[in-house]
Every structure is written in C-alpha cells, then in structure tokens.
A and B are shown apart, each in its own frame.
Chain A
Amino acid sequence: MFSDDGFLSEKFSNQSPSQTHIFTSFPNSAVDPDDDDLSTDNKPANNLSYEYNPSNSQPSSLPLPATANTSKDEQFHIWQLEYYQTYFQIDTQQVIERLLASMTPRPNKSYFDSTIRQNPDLYGPFWVCITFIITVAVSGNILTYFYVPDADFQIDFSKITLSAIFICFYWWLMPTCIYFFFRWHLKRIEYTFVELLCVYGYSLTIFIPISILWMISISWLQWLLTILGSVISGSVLIVTFWPTINSDRQRFNALSMLLMLFLHLAMAISIMLVFFHVSDKNIPTRNPTTLLTTVIPSVKNQI
C-alpha cells in the first residue's frame, strides 16, 4: 500500500482521466504552503493517485497534518471518555420532549422516528432507570416505615441493590433479545443497539410516578396502576416496533408483540409484588402478635 518513501498510497480502483490528484496519506511534517498547486494538474510520475481529503478516515493511513481539520473523525477508543460523548449530545428541551412522547402512545406516529432516530442518546434512559430504582427503593422503605414501630425500623439497603439489579437487567436484556431477534430471525438490521436501549429506557418513564403512587396501600389501586402503566408504555413500544415486525409477513408477528407486552407487564407486576404489595402476610409485627395473644389464652382455656 505504501510506496518506498512511506507516505503515498495507490488506488487503482477509482482512477479516471479527469480525476484530480488527491492525497491519501502523508506524514505529519508535510506542512506544504503551496498545496493548491499540487491539487490540479501534476501528472504523477509513477501512476499513483493522490487523494487530499480532510475527512479521510482510512485506518491504515498516516495521520493527517496538523493543519487539516479533524473535527469529526478521530477514532476514539472505548476507554476514552470522548467515545461516549457522542451519545450525550442532547439538550434539556429534547430530553423533556422525549420523556413526554414516551408516555403518550399515538397510534400512527412513532415518536421514535421523529425524535430518536437522528440522535440516540444515553442520558435519558440511564437517568430514567436510576430514578426508577431510587423511587422504588425509597417508596418501599417509606411504606415499611409506616408499618413498623419507630424503634425497629432499619433502612433496608438490600432493597436498593435488589431493585437496581433487577431494573438494569431488564433494561439491558430486552433490547439485547430484540436486537438478536431482528438480526437473525427477521434478518433486518433496522435499529442499532443504542437506539433500542434508548427506546426501552424511555419507556420506563411512566413507572416513576406510578412507583410513588404505589405507596398508597390499597391493593386494588396498586394492581390498577400496574396494569395501566404497563399498558401505556407497552403500547408505545408496540407502536415503535410494529412497522418493522409487520413488514415481513411472518407467522410470529402478533405473537412476538404480545410476548413483549407480556414481559413488560411481568416486570411491573414483579416489582409491585416484591416491594410494595400490602397483603395480610406482609404487614409485619402488629397483627401476628395480637393474633398470638388471643390464641394462647383460648388454648389454655381448652386445656
């Protein structure tokens, strides 16, 4: 690829007689004040073509000189912070817009296409998940605080870790499954993994106010909130994915949509049952002791 002096490359594929000479690679010290002359009509002596293109990003070429503008195409690595900065190019207004759109399902318009497609971000999904974890853990603890006498109450940190593991697991697992499902079963790569993460993260938004309302310890209200929340966010997911799934006329269209909705509902129900459900079994200390004290005298009387 390189000639003897080490900084020229040859490209025979797109040679044409009218093609001006463009440089593909040159060393750092090649700060040439009269670049303009070279670009037009010098015929190369040995049939190489030079390609001068500021946004050239061939990985095998030498780095461009310091005078070229390298705004977009530095190859960042996964351990550098700048690699992830591309996923955080977002303003407050856009985040609020996406949050609201993920809570309101509109039958014909997928908010994904209009908002997220051009600019998937990781800020929204990540902080929605963290907020959800925090509200679940805090509300769960407050709920037990009202049922346990003051002296015995201890903040249950295991709730935070449990809810964190569960919710993060869900947030990552579902996009992974959907990504592989699209890629291998449907053989369409229409969504990148980051876009799927984005959609799933934003779909958890509606559960944040619901998890605060879950503190109200009326059983039918908790169930109602669960079903309502998962139906709303599930329908947003369905509206987003339906065009892709429906386009191939496979057998499993409706089935896979229903499965996604079912898993969403299952996630909501399990969180509600583990952290919030107030049934007679869950209320600690007071009721069982009174039951015991009334049982024992009656047993004594019988003996």
Chain B
Amino acid sequence: MDTDQAPFLTTSTQGIDMIEGDITLPSNRTNSNELSTLDEPVLDTIKRDLGAVFRKFGYAVIPRHSSTLLQQWDLWGPLILVTTLAILLQSNATKSSAGAQFAEVFTLMLIGSIAVTVNSQLLGGKISFFQSVCVLGYCLLPLLLSAFVNNILLYIPTKSTISILHIIRFLVVMAAYAWTMYASVQFLGQTQQPNRRMLVLYPIFLFYFLIAWLIILHAHPK
C-alpha cells in the first residue's frame, strides 16, 4: 500500500507545486504581506484606490497603450461617471418623473454594457464581462465633460429653434463622441481578431451614440 502510494504521492505533490506556481500572481508581495493591507490605515487604502481611479481616468482621456485598464479593472470610475451623467441629464423634473429619468440613464448604461460585452464574447473575444464594463465606463469621461459644457451653454438664452448655440452644442458633443470612440477603440479593439474588429466596434458605436443623443437633446427646465 505504501509503495503504491509513495510514487502516487510524489507525482501529485509535483502537480500541486506546479499549480501553486501558476496561480500566484506575479507581484512583489508574497502571501504574508497581502494580509497587511487589512491593517493599514483607512486613509492609505482610500488614497491608493482613488489614485488608481484617477490614473485610469487619465488613461481614458489620453489613450495610450497600457494594460492597466484591462487587467486591474474596477467599477468605481464607471459608477461615479454614470451617476454624475444621470444627475446632469435631469430636465423638467417633476417629483414623480425625476426618479424615472435618473433610472433611465442607469438602465441604458447597464443594458448597453451587457449587450456590448456579450456580443464581444460571442464573437470570440478574450475579454471578461467586468473588464468590458470598466473600459466602457471610463471612456465615458469626454462625454461627461461635454454634458457639463452643454449645461453651461444652455443658460445663454436663445429665441429661435435652430441658432448658432444649438450648432455649437451639437459640435461639442460630437467632438466628445469622437474622442470617446477613439479611446474605447484603442482599448477594446485590440481584444479581437482583425477580421471581426468592426463587428465588435459597431455596438460600441451605437451605445455611445445613444448617450450622445441624450446629451444633445437635453434641455433646461424652465
């Protein structure tokens, strides 16, 4: 029995070693040091996480090739951006419809992200669900900035239906839309093989187009 088990055990322990080697992350910290982040002061944790979020904002605004956004995904950035966008897009808010309008933007964002990710996975892309939601959310930053500008420009009174102000607003939002598309193409376009890239990028195009349309047609409550 023992002689039977001894070779069996050796092979299996070798197997366990190999598995251990594969699943430890290639980071500087060993297992014992990871526990120390539980003991650090809360301010340190917040500063580190906020730093990561702002760094990702930087990547979204100036897209350069890095794997940070994809590998270390987090959903704080998308949450902040979508909440701010939903607040900015409230118009003519009566008590009852304000909640509904807020939820509409959220729902659009959620369903859009799910649709884009499932589409990308079905076409054979190597991206997970939350990575895709993370990238889509972070790349929303230029459109959010254009919504700010839009709201400010709406304070200038205008009389006719189509005036120069409408055109400026339209151009600003379109510029932000192009910027957003460029950023997300940089990140998400690389995850797909070249002959299917347009098929993956087209739903992203539709998704941001819907959000840009919401921003353009937003009017102030009077």
Contacts and interface: CB of A to CB of B under 8 A. Distances in A.
B222 to A, nearest CB: 4
Interface in A107-144: 123, 127, 130-131, 134, 138, 141-142
Nearest to B154: A150
Given A88-B122, A92-B196, A127 B202 contact: yes
Interface string B92-125: 1000000000001000000000010011011110
Interface in B152-166: 158, 161
Given A146-B161, A153-B217, A131 B195 contact: no
- Counting contact residues on chain A (CB < 8 A from B), the size range is 20 to 34
A90, A127, A155, most chain B CB atoms within 10 A: A155
Given A95-B199, A127-B203, A131-B206, A88 B123 contact: yes
B169 to A, nearest CB: 12
B219 interface: yes
B199 A123 contact: yes
Contact of A154 (B91, B158, B202): B91
- Counting contact residues on chain B (CB < 8 A from A), the size range is 20 to 34
Interface string B184-222: 000000000001111100110010011001100111111
Given A81-B122, A151-B222, A154-B92, A92 B195 contact: yes
A84 interface: yes
B122 A153 contact: no
Contacts of A2: none
Contact of B214 (A84, A85, A153, A155): A155
Contacts of B115: 130
Contacts of A130: 115, 203, 206
A184 interface: no
Contact of B195 (A84, A87, A93, A145): A93
A5 interface: no
Contacts of A220: none
A4 interface: no
B217 A90 contact: no
Nearest to A122: B122
A157 B122 contact: no
Interface in A53-109: 81, 84-85, 87-88, 90-93, 95
B217 A134 contact: no
Nearest to B199: A92
B122 A150 contact: no
A91 B194 CA distance: 9
A112 to B, nearest CB: 21
Contacts of A157: 104
A154 B213 CA distance: 13
A81 B119 CA distance: 10
Contacts of A146: 161
Contacts of B118: 81
7 contacts: A81-B122, A88-B123, A90-B196, A127-B202, A138-B210, A145-B217, A151-B219
Given A130-B115, A153-B219, 12 more contacts: A81-B121, A85-B124, A90-B199, A91-B199, A123-B122, A123-B123, A142-B217, A150-B158, A151-B220, A153-B217, A155-B218, A157-B104
Interface of B: 91-92, 104, 115, 118-119, 121-124, 158, 161, 195-199, 202-203, 206, 209-210, 213-214, 217-222
Interface of A: 81, 84-85, 87-88, 90-93, 95, 123, 127, 130-131, 134, 138, 141-142, 145-146, 150-155, 157
The 9 lowest CB-CB distance pairs between A and B, nearest first, are A151-B222, A88-B122, A92-B198, A91-B195, A88-B123, A150-B219, A92-B199, A157-B104, A155-B217
